[in-house]
Amino acid sequence: MSAIAFDGVVKRYGDFAALDGVSFTVEQGDFFALLGPNGAGKTTLISILGGLARATAGRVAVMGHDVERDYRAARRAVGIVPQELVFDPFFTVRETLAFQSGYFGLKRNDDWIDEILASLGLTNKAHSNMRALSGGMKRRVMVAQALVHRPQVIVLDEPTAGVDVELRQTLWSFIRRLNADGHTIVLTTHYLEEAEELCNRIAMLKQGRLIALEDKHTLMKRDKARSLFLRLTPSRLPDALRPLLTAERDDGFALKLPDASALAGVLAALQAEQISVRDIEVDKPDLEDIFVGMMRDPAREG
Ligand SMILES: Nc1ncnc2c1ncn2[C@@H]1O[C@H](COP(=O)(O)OP(=O)(O)OP(=O)(O)O)[C@@H](O)[C@H]1O
């Protein structure tokens, strides 16, 4: 059984399709990244998953429970950290979490609440009123609230937008631990280095359609281009290499090679003109390069 199954999900607002037939699964134990530019449909997909919006067509199931027909069980299986801060300003942090526990019918949940508070660095704010917390602290409470019922699937919608380095580190070490304990994690983020570091599978949405879904390592290997920076003596680039030039600096030349095997040709061209290499740096594309390439690719218009 998949942790989440999206099957032909369509969401229309009038004539506009925010989601245009999205199908994919997230497997149990995945640390899954859902990427896409602003407006691609990520939040819409998550809202349907959490029962906050209804799909115009298609089906979504969490741990085998249909989010419409089997709403309660589906809702219990997932914890969603929303993008926006939503809270009751008159509750303390602990009251907020106790109230959320009550919503799921959990009475004796104090030990787990204590553990979540400690793991998110909120213990000494437990009795503070929500309205008195800083933005970053409120965001921690949003995370805590989503975890109160120990959901098997945890979805974080841009959890680190505008938060400081310390919270990012606290949050990711806690979420990694939950993933190691068997929880499935789905993350949307615009910080691609976060997705690259944390996730094992990556989906990309564009204009309401799925344009890529791959194991991270497979995706990263897809782009075979290599960036090269050369410091040369004398500092001169042979004409034959000009087509590869992407930038010329005081101290050298940046080239883009279609793949690693093109390096031999570059060295041969230099040698032919008796130019020696003083220093060389080679870079692989990162997830950001791959993402930008895919978003620009007209063949991936869906
Ligand atoms: N209630 C609504 N009525 C009309 N259009 C909507 C509504 N909600 C969302 N949309 C549109 O649906 C599209 C997808 O929005 P969504 O918020 O899912 O994108 P997103 O991928 O989460 O973007 P971001 O990265 O900016 O959070 C957008 O074009 C948005 O304007």
Nearest residue by C-alpha to atom 8 in ligand 1: 44
Average pLDDT of the segment spanning 59-78: 96
d(CA 121, CA 105): 26
pLDDT at 146 (0 to 100): 95
Burial grade of 281 (CB within 10 A; 0-12, 13-18, 19 or more): exposed
Nearest residue by C-alpha to atom 17 in ligand 1: 43
Measure 50 CA to ligand 1 centroid, in angstroms: 16
CB neighbour burial string for 190-200, b if at least 16 within 10 angstroms, e if fewer: eebebbbebbe
Among 44, 209, 291, which residue has the most ligand 1 atoms within 8 Å of its CB, making it the best to mutate? 44
* Most confident among 6-10, 101-105, 155-159 (mean pLDDT): 6-10
d(CA 68, CA 49): 9
38 lines ligand 1 (CB under 6 A): yes
Closest by alpha carbon to 59, among 109, 21, 103? 21
Atom of ligand 1 nearest to the CA of 37: 25
| Top-confidence residue, 12 or 302 | 12
| Confidence check: pLDDT of 292 > 90 | no
36 lines ligand 1 (CB under 6 A): yes
Atom of ligand 1 nearest to the CA of 44: 18
Measure 201 CA to ligand 1 centroid, in angstroms: 23
d(CA 41, CA 126): 35
Measure 217 CA to ligand 1 centroid, in angstroms: 29
Q: What is the chain's mean pLDDT, rounded?
A: 92
Average pLDDT of the segment spanning 268-290: 90
Nearest residue by C-alpha to atom 28 in ligand 1: 39
State pLDDT tens for residues 231-271.
Answer: 999 999 999 999 999 999 999 999 999 888 999 999 999 99
pTM of the predicted protein model = 0.84
State pLDDT tens for residues 168-203.
Answer: 888 899 999 999 999 999 999 888 888 889 999 999
Tell me the three-class secondary structure of the chain, residue by residue: CCCEEEEEEEEEECCEEEEEEEEEEECCCCEEEEECCCCCCHHHHHHHHCCCCCCCEEEEEECCEECCCCHHHHHHHEEEECCCCCCCCCCEHHHHHHHHHHHCCCCCCHHHHHHHHHHCCCHHHCCCEHHHCCHHHHHHHHHHHHHCCCCCEEEEECCCCCCCHHHHHHHHHHHHHHHHCCCEEEEECCCHHHHHHHCCEEEEEECCEEEEEEEHHHHHHHCCCEEEEEEEECCCCCHHHHHHEEEEECCEEEEEECCHHHHHHHHHHHHHCCCEEEEEEEECCCHHHHHHHHHHCHHHCC
18 lines ligand 1 (CB under 6 A): yes
Among 9, 19, 22, 43, which residue has the most ligand 1 atoms within 8 Å of its CB, making it the best to mutate? 43
Average pLDDT of the segment spanning 66-85: 94
Cα-trace Rg, the chain:
24
d(CA 231, CA 237): 10
State pLDDT tens for residues 19-42.
Answer: 999 999 999 999 999 999 999 999
CB atoms within 10 A of CB 215: 12
CB atoms within 10 A of CB 23: 13
CB atoms within 10 A of CB 181: 8
Q: What is the ipTM of this complex?
A: 0.95
In the block, which residue shows the tokens 């067509």?
57
189 lines ligand 1 (CB under 6 A): no
The count of residues in the chain is 302
